[in-house]
Every structure is written in structure tokens, then in C-alpha cells.
Amino acid sequence: MSTFRQKGDARRPPNLYNDFIDNRLERNAMPLPKRPAKRGDVLTDYGPEADLTKPAGKAAPKAAAKPSQAPETASKPRRTTRKTVKAAPAETTKTVEKTVTAQETAAPKSTAKTPAKPAVKKPPVKKAATAVKPQTAPEVAESDVRESRHSNRRGRAATPADKRKLFVLDTNVLIHDPTSIFSFAEHDVFLPMTVLEELDNHKKGTSDVARNARSVSRSLDQLMELNGHDLTQGVPLSLLGNKEATGRLFFETHAVDVPIPAALPTFKGDNRILAVVKGVEGAFPDLAVVLVSKDINMRIKATTLGIPAEDYLSDKVLDDTDMLYSGRMALPSDFWTTVGKSLKSWQDDGTTHYRFETKEAGRYVVNMCLTIEGDPDFMAIVTSVEPDAVTIRLLRDYRTRLKVWGIHARNAEQNMALNLLTDPEIDFVTLLGQAGTGKTLMTLAAALTQTVDERRFSEIIVTRATVSVGEDIGFLPGTEEEKMAPWMGALEDNLEVLHRSENSTGGDWGRQATLDLIKARIRIKSMSFMRGRTFLKKFVIIDEAQNLSPKQMKTLITRAGPGTKIVCLGNIAQIDTPYLTEGSSGLTYVVERFQGWPHAATITLTRGERSRLADFATEVL
């Protein structure tokens, strides 16, 4: 509601003030100050179009100056009040009109002389409106966006190439990777006070977020303890033994934030960090300041303000998943002619081995599958790589001659996969491929053959990430295996395929009895209870591995004991876990990290064999 500012009583309208003075004088009370000689300025409430950067008394100078020049009568305050009401919002208008009506009732003599029509005919709305200026924040944002479009960093503001960088880390980067402060080599790192406050808010609990927040806090405390009390020159990041981190860690020891557009309220943590980054640019003029955040919207807002922003890339194995190691390579059709002079062959344990010399030995990787263009019957695997020579071994033929639990391979890729799954020298296998390529079926068939028939493993353990595609259906009843049963529909479907035999002599009863015996050798486990366990002579199947983070993948693989084989199945194009991408998935992580290890192999399946409907849907949808 609009108010009146006078020298005597700043909250009373002039007519009530006159009555108050007359009553006090009649009672011979203590002397009062003199009656004001001129009327005070009108204070208007902040409306939706008010300029918040200017004082309230100067919001409408032209509209307030006209009443002060008019003669001082009892009717003028009413007219001035209604002028102010016209420029105010609708709610304020109703409130002030009610107040004026009450004043007319309380003092009818002072208001009877002035009619109401002149006050309605001359509302200076246009003058009051011209005094209000629009905010300039949107214009600044538009100019920043316009500059960022012409940058050379895919929409990010460019940084000078001749300057060292100062990376300002967002809270989500530290929670995502507790060791991220040591991942910037010779560059410096800056942590705003807001980041430390948010770490303190997330430290309670038993989740991975709380665990990582506590880990970061411990690292920061150790760095400060080794450095001493002086933090103004930064803390060397190499104090904890991280020799690759030669930069320094800076903290917000004093306020460095600068004003940002009013459209970004600073009561939000992200906006406070943006204000600090803008201030850091002025506090460190010799360094190129870059904001690092996992939050996409945070990076977008930073770009609109002209702040260089990047994603945290240290945890990403590959920027382009098309360069992911596929585990196979096609040799040219003249391969035998090229290596004919140095080619040697021999038989060992029923298989054929070849050794040849080549100047391109670096192209070959141990346990890489090889084919020759134009020769569909040739399939081999690399067994050793020397600086100038390569040794390969022919693969067994599961397409026509051999079977695994009663099934044949339908194409060359499946034949390679079955060879890797049944090789006793390979302890870790990764099968990648789209839906319908036979990953789960072949893995389960190889597991049953080596567990039930060959007795190489004692039992089969199946686990997967419990990440739903759509909405969660809630809590599931029962024991651990009963809770995991709805997630293992693919396992049940493939068991049904493996035990559907037309030549079975036992009929339905015999097949059901066999299925019950096989299910007794299969254990369904949840990943939530894997920590601390050790698997001895187990065949472990990790299904839907693309939904696991690198840390979860490490936890599962390190459970393997002597005689255990682990198989990871997944498709990096079907990631359902939030905040995981194709480049940061745990499946991509293990494929690149295990590449070249003599006891690990990877194969990517591209040809679907589920049905013609599924194959066509994969191509067109």
C-alpha cells in the first residue's frame, strides 16, 4: 500500500495529521513540532515493472513532482493518491481505494469540498509509466549468447591458448569422482565456498554420494594439514603423493563474487557458483578460468554469461564410441600372399597355429578375432604379439561341426563368441551387441556346458543392475532371489529355449525335471550384497552391464577368486541409468582397460538372429 512521508508522522495522511495536532493543542499538551510547510514525496510499492536498481523515492520523479507544486488543499492528497494507484498493480489499487474511503468517512468536512470527477479525469499514468525503465539483465544475456555462438569450442566461450588454466569445480564433479582434484595435471583448481557447503550437506548417509562427499572432505583436510595455515598462495596438489598433479588448489578465502543478471537469483547454489566464477576471472587475470560441471544446464547458463564451461572428461574412456575396441579385425584378401615368405604353421592340442612376420604388429591385440575378406570359413584368434611377429590360432567351428548345450552358432560372430566363452585360458569376456544378437543365450549355454557337463565350475551366478526402463513398480516381496526374479525374465526365456527339444524321450515331465536340476545350479544374486564376497570356481554372468558405473564394475570384477570366469553382457546404446553416457559407462570402461590382457577378450555382435520382425524393427525404429 502506498504511504505518505511527512516530517511529523511518516505514516499518517495529512488530514488525520491536522486533526491530531488540533486535538493536542486544545488539551495544552507538550509542545509539538511545527506543521510541515510542504508535502512529502509519494512512495510507490515495487510493481512488476519497477526498476529495482533505483531507490524507491526516485521510481517516478515526474509523477511525484506535480503534486508538490500544487496549492496545499485537502483535496490534493486524494488526487495524488489516486494517481499513484493508477501506476501500481491491481491489488495495491484495491487496498488504497479502501483506505481513502475510510478517510472520507472519518473526516467528511475536509473531503466534501473536492468532487471526485476531476480526480478520475486526470490520472498521470503515462508519465509514471515513462519513468520506469526495463531491466538490462536480458540484454546482457543475449549479448553473451551472441558471442558464444562464434566461439571455437562448440558453443563454449574460448580460452586463451597461451595461459595456464584455473578449473573451478562444481559439487557434482567432486561427488562423481572424489579424486577429481588431482586429474588436471599442471593446471590449478579452485573450490568456491558454496561447493564446500554442499559437500557438507551431502556427507550424511550410506549412499555412494555420501561416501564420495566424505572422501573429498578427508582429502581436503589432509592437504590443508600438510600445507599449513596459509591458503592465499594455494595448496600444492602433490602433497598427498599425486606426482602427476603439479598445480595448486585455491579456496575462496574472501568474497570474490560479482553481480550477475537479476534473472539468476543468488539464493540458488548454482547461481552463486557462477557469480564466484565471474569474480575469479578478475582475481586471477593471468589464468584462463574454466568451469567444470557435470550439470548440463549449469554449463548452458555459464556459456550464456561468457564463462568457459566444460564437462568432466577424465572419467570418460572415449569421446567417440565409434572408436570403441570391437575385438575383431578383417584381414585383406591377399593376406596369405603378403605373409607367405615368413609364414610358419604347426599343430598343438588338436588346433592349428600360424606365425608370421609383419611390420604392422601394433595393429594386432592379444585375443583379437581375425577374419579374411572373401573367405567365410577362416576364423582365428591372436595368441601372442611380438615387435615384428604375430602368432594366431584357428578357432573351432561351432556353426556346423560342434555344439554348445545343443545349439549351433548362426554366424561368424557367434562362432567367435562361443570360442571365447569356452576357452579355459580366458577369465574375463565382454560381449557387446544390439538386442537379438544372442548374447545371453550363448553365454548361458556355455555356462551350463562347463558347469553341468564338464564340471569346470561349481555353479552359475547371475546378476544385473536393477534399473527399470520406465516407472518403478515399487518394492518387491520375498527373499533375495524372489526379489531378483522379475529382473531375470531374459534368463527364464533362454532356459526355455535351451530345453525345448522335440526328440526328448522324457516328455514334459522329463524336461521339467531336467529344468529343475539345472535351476538348482543357478544362483541369482543382487549387486547390493556383493561387497566382501569371494567367488571360487564360479561362472559369473553380469547382464545389462551398460547400466553399471566404473566403480560398480570394479566392485564386481574384484570378487573373482581362483577358477572363476566373469562374462559381461550389454549394449551401450541402451543405457537406462541417469548420469551415465556411452563414454562413461562401466562397460566401456572395462573394454578399454582389459584390452591386450592375455586372459581377457571382447567381441562385438552386430547381426541380429532373434527374428525377422526384431531385425527390421532394429533397423527402422
In which band, very low, low, confident or very high, does the pLDDT at 461 lie, cut at 50, 70 and 90?
Answer: very high
Q: Are strands 288-292 and 165-169 parallel, antiparallel or unpaired?
A: parallel
Average pLDDT of the chain, as a whole number: 76
Does the pLDDT at position 230 exceed 60? yes
Strand order in the sheet with 248-251: 235-236, 248-251, 188-191, 165-169, 288-292, 309-310
**Segment among 46-55, 472-481, 530-539 with least mean pLDDT:** 46-55
Same domain, 71 and 22: yes
Taken as a whole, the chain contains a residue count of 621
Q: Is residue 519 part of a domain?
A: yes
| Beta-carbon count within 10 A of 587 CB | 26
Give 371 or 154, the one with higher predicted confidence: 371
DSSP letters of 307-366? Answer: --EE---TT-S-S-GGGS--SEEEEPTTHHHHSTTT-EEEEETTEEEEEEE-S-GGG--T
DSSP bridge partners of 357: 389
Segment 514-525 mean pLDDT: 80
Q: Using CA atoms, how far apart are residues 277 and 298, in angstroms rounded to an integer?
A: 12
| 49: containing domain | 3-131
- Whether residue 13 is found in the same domain as residue 101: yes
Residue 46 lies in a domain: yes
CATH code (residue 175): 3.40.50.1010
| Residue 60 located in a structural domain | yes
Query: Is 391 within a domain?
Result: no
**In the predicted model, is pLDDT for residue 306 greater than 70?**
yes
- φ, ψ of residue 372 to 5 degrees: the values are -120, 130
Q: How confident is the model at residue 507 (pLDDT cuts 50, 70, 90)?
A: low
What is the pLDDT, as a whole number, of residue 449?
A: 93
pLDDT, mean of residues 240-245: 88
The model carries a pTM of 0.64
User: What's the pLDDT at 169?
Assistant: 95
Angle at the Cα of 498 from the Cα atoms of 497 and 504, rounded to 5 degrees: 100
Type of residue found at 227: N
Kindly state whether residues 173 and 85 are assigned to the same domain: no
Let me know: does 460 contact 451? Beta carbons within 8 Å: yes
CB contact burial 191-215 (16+ within 10 A = b; e otherwise): bbbbbbebbeebbeeeeeeeebbbb
Judgement on whether residues 112 and 160 belong to the same structural domain of the protein? no
pLDDT at 22: 55
Please give the Cα distance from 516 to 495 (Å, whole number).
Answer: 11
Residues 6 or more apart in contact with residue 417 via CB below 8 angstroms:
409, 431, 438, 439, 442, 603, 605
The residue that leads in pLDDT, 533 or 514, is 533
Task: Taking residues 385-389, report their average pLDDT.
Answer: 93
**CB neighbours of residue 347 within 10 Å:** 8
| Minimum mean pLDDT range among 8-12, 66-70, 150-154 | 150-154
Mean pLDDT of 407-411: 91
Can you give the pLDDT at residue 120? 41
> How large is the angle between the packed helices 193-201 and 269-283, nearest 10 degrees?
150
**Do residue 116 and residue 219 come from a single domain?**
no
pLDDT band with cut points at 50, 70 and 90 for residue 422: very high
Q: What is the pLDDT of residue 71?
A: 40
Confidence at 609, pLDDT banded by 50, 70, 90 = confident
Confidence of residue 513 (pLDDT cuts 50, 70, 90): confident
- pLDDT, residue 331, reads 94
Boundary residue ending a domain (253, 275, 310)? 310
Report whether 152 contacts 158 (CB < 8 A): yes
Give the domain-ending residue among 265, 288, 310.
Answer: 310
Residue 351 lies in a domain: no
Position 7 scores a pLDDT of: 44
Q: Which residues contact 438 (CB under 8 A, 6 or more apart)?
A: 410, 414, 417, 605, 609, 610
pLDDT of residue 222: 93
Domain contains 329: no
Bigger pLDDT: 344 vs 37:
344
Q: In this model, does residue 529 exceed pLDDT 80? A: no
Residue 324 falls inside a structural domain:
no
- Whether the CB-CB separation of 239 and 227 falls below 8 Å is answered with yes
Q: Which residue has the cell 570384477?
A: 557
What CATH number should be reported for the domain holding residue 479? Answer: 3.40.50.300
Percent of the chain with pLDDT over 70: 68
Backbone angles phi, psi at 215, to 5 degrees: -65, -40
Task: Note the pLDDT tens digit of each residue in 556-605.
Answer: 999 999 999 999 999 988 888 877 888 888 999 999 999 999 999 999 99
- Which range among 15-19, 390-394, 557-561, 615-619 shows the weakest confidence by mean pLDDT? 15-19
Question: Comparing 565 with 2, which gets the higher pLDDT?
Answer: 565
pLDDT band at 23 (very low <50, low <70, confident <90, very high): low
Q: Are residues 541 and 583 in the same domain?
A: yes
Whether the Cβ atoms of residue 414 and residue 606 lie closer than 8 Å to each other: no
Q: Determine phi and psi for 353, rounding to 5 degrees.
A: -115, 145
Q: What is the pLDDT of residue 130?
A: 38
Please list the residues that pair with 375 across neighbouring strands.
Answer: 372
Tens of pLDDT, residue by residue over 178-207, are: 999 999 988 999 999 999 999 999 999 888
Confidence of residue 393 (pLDDT cuts 50, 70, 90): very high
pLDDT at 101: 41
Q: Is residue 144 part of a domain?
A: yes
Beta bridge partners, 310, equal 292
Handedness of CA 218, 309, 550, 184 (dihedral sign): negative
In this prediction, residues 526-545 reach a mean pLDDT of: 87
CA 85 from chain centre, in angstroms, equals 49
Tell me the pLDDT tens digit for each residue of 429-454. Answer: 999 998 888 899 999 999 999 999 99
In the chain, the amino acid numbered 349 is D
Q: Are residues 530 and 591 in the same domain?
A: yes
How many independent structural domains does the chain possess? Answer: 3
Q: Mean of the pLDDT values across residues 517-537? A: 83
Domain boundary among 131, 148, 163: 131
pLDDT of residue 471: 58
Could you report the per-residue pLDDT of 114-166, keeping only the tens digit for each?
444 444 444 444 443 333 343 433 343 333 333 333 333 343 556 677 788 99
User: What's residue 468's pLDDT?
Assistant: 59
Q: In the Cβ-directed half-sphere of 417, how many Cα atoms lie within 13 Å?
A: 32
Residues 177 and 113 in one domain: no
- Residue closest to 84 by CA, chosen among 157, 5, 16: 5
Span 265-269, average pLDDT: 88
One domain for residues 163 and 110: no
pLDDT of residue 342: 92
Query: Are 146 and 113 within one domain?
Result: no
Do 279 and 298 share a structural domain?
yes
DSSP 558: T
Straight-line distance from the first to the last Cα atom of the chain, in angstroms, rounded to the nearest whole number = 61
Mean pLDDT of 49-78: 42
Same domain, 188 and 252: yes
Which residues fall within 8 angstroms of residue 82, CB to CB, at 6 or more apart? 97, 100, 119, 120, 123
Three-state SS at 539: strand
Most confidently modeled of 133-147, 214-228, 600-614?
A: 214-228
